[in-house]
């Protein structure tokens, strides 16, 4: 008798490798840090989009009779110096900062990526000249840039977006440049050059997809800084203007009341800024960890 040999089919799912994007996504979904940060950010995004529908009061409506009322069942976070409900203002106040900061970060990412590709690919004189200009620009504080921009363009959300975006672009450019310098020496770039591909095609079609991970990490990190920068400029009077319930602007309008014991006029706006920055930073840490697993 001959023995019957049985073989088990090899499961293709065990041998098939997942794509890098799927691996990163899977890592993010397993990251408690990323998911916690994402939950915080999504909460404030929901407030920015739909806050007016569940805020108990009009955030711009004053009520002098109930001015500076402490937190209570009627006004959960109390009222400010002209009787506006602080809880409603905190909820709706997320809208401006979550509009300006992401747009400024997007501008910084686009400009910084283009400059990083340019300096990293061409090197030589182009790298030296552009890098020296970027370093000089980075040495100027954001507040000074804001003052100059406001004199030239006037105070507006657009001005804040441009100021913060151009201030952060050199930092992103430096990160992208480092990644491009490493990629430029690889075989696929040499192959593109042998095919006589244009410099534009080589930079944006061949190299750019391979430096996306550090760009995404840098973008999430800069978003946290942008949120803080928007709040700071609003606090100093250079950013979002009244009657917006913007958090930084609300703190600027009411911080003088702390000495009189009216702490609630500032505390909850400050906690909102802190929670959003913490949420973005947690998400950024998760993204960084996912790309470095």
Place of tokens 């073989």: 7
Per-residue confidence (pLDDT) for residue 1, from 0 to 100: 43
Quote the mean pLDDT of the chain. Answer: 87
pLDDT at 283 (0 to 100): 93
Strand partners, 79: 85
pLDDT for 150 equals 75
pLDDT of residue 143: 74
Judged by phi (left if over 0) then psi (alpha if -120 to 50, else beta), residue 16 lies in beta
* End-to-end Cα spacing for the chain: 54
pLDDT band at 17 (very low <50, low <70, confident <90, very high): low
Task: State mean pLDDT over 207-215.
Answer: 92
- CB crowding 3-22: b at 16 or more within 10 Å, else e: eeeeeeeeeeeeeeeeeeee
Flag whether pLDDT at 67 surpasses 80: yes
Instruction: At 146, list the tokens.
Output: 């804001």
Q: What pLDDT is attached to residue 136? A: 85
270 and 77 in contact (C-beta within 8 Å)? Answer: no
Over residues 145-171, the mean pLDDT reads 84
pLDDT at 270 over 90: yes
pLDDT of 10? 44
pLDDT tier at 57, thresholds 50, 70, 90: very high
Packing angle between helix 212-235 and helix 247-254, nearest 10 degrees? 30
Question: Measured between alpha carbons, how far is 53 from 47 in angstroms, rounded to an integer?
Answer: 9
The pLDDT-based confidence of 25 (bands split at 50, 70, 90) is confident
Q: What is the dihedral of CA 32, 35, 36, 39, to 10 degrees?
A: -160
Would you state the pLDDT for residue 293? 67
Query: pLDDT grade, residue 36 (50/70/90)?
Result: very high
pLDDT at 41: 96
- pLDDT tens per residue across span 93-103: 999 999 999 99
Mean pLDDT of 63-76: 91
**CA atoms within 13 A of residue 274's CA, in its CB half-sphere:** 7
Tokens of 157: 């959300």
- Residue 27, number of CB atoms within 10 A of its CB: 17
- Judge whether 46 and 40 are in contact, CB under 8 Å: no
Report whether pLDDT(11) > 70.
Answer: no
């Amino acid at each position: 008798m001959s023995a019957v040999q049985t073989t088990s089919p090899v499961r293709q799912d065990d041998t098939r490798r997942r794509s890098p994007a799927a691996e990163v996504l899977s890592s993010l979904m397993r990251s408690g840090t990323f998911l916690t940060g994402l939950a915080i950010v999504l909460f404030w995004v929901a407030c920015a989009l739909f806050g007016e529908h569940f805020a108990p009061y009009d955030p711009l409506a004053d009520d002098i009779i109930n001015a500076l009322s402490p937190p209570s069942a009627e006004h959960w976070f109390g009222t400010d110096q002209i009787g506006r409900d602080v809880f409603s203002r905190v909820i709706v106040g997320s809208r401006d900062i979550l509009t300006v900061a992401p747009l400024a970060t997007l501008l910084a990412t686009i400009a910084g990526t283009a400059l990083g590709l340019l300096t990293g690919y061409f090197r030589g004189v182009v790298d030296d000249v552009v890098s020296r200009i970027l370093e000089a620009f980075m040495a100027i504080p954001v507040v000074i840039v804001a003052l100059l921009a406001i004199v030239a363009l006037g105070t507006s959300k657009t001005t804040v977006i441009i100021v913060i975006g151009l201030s952060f672009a050199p930092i992103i450019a430096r990160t992208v440049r480092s990644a491009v310098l490493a990629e430029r020496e690889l075989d696929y770039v040499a192959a593109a050059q042998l095919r006589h591909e244009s410099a534009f095609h080589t930079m944006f079609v061949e190299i750019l997809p391979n430096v996306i991970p550090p760009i995404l990490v840098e973008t999430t990190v800069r978003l946290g800084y942008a949120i803080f920068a928007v709040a700071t400029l609003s606090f100093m009077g250079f950013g979002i203007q009244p009657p917006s319930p913007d958090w930084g602007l609300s703190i600027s309008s009411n911080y003088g009341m702390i000495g009189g014991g009216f702490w609630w006029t500032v505390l909850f706006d400050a906690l909102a800024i802190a929670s959003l920055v913490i949420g973005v930073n947690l998400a950024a840490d998760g993204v960084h960890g996912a790309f470095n697993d």
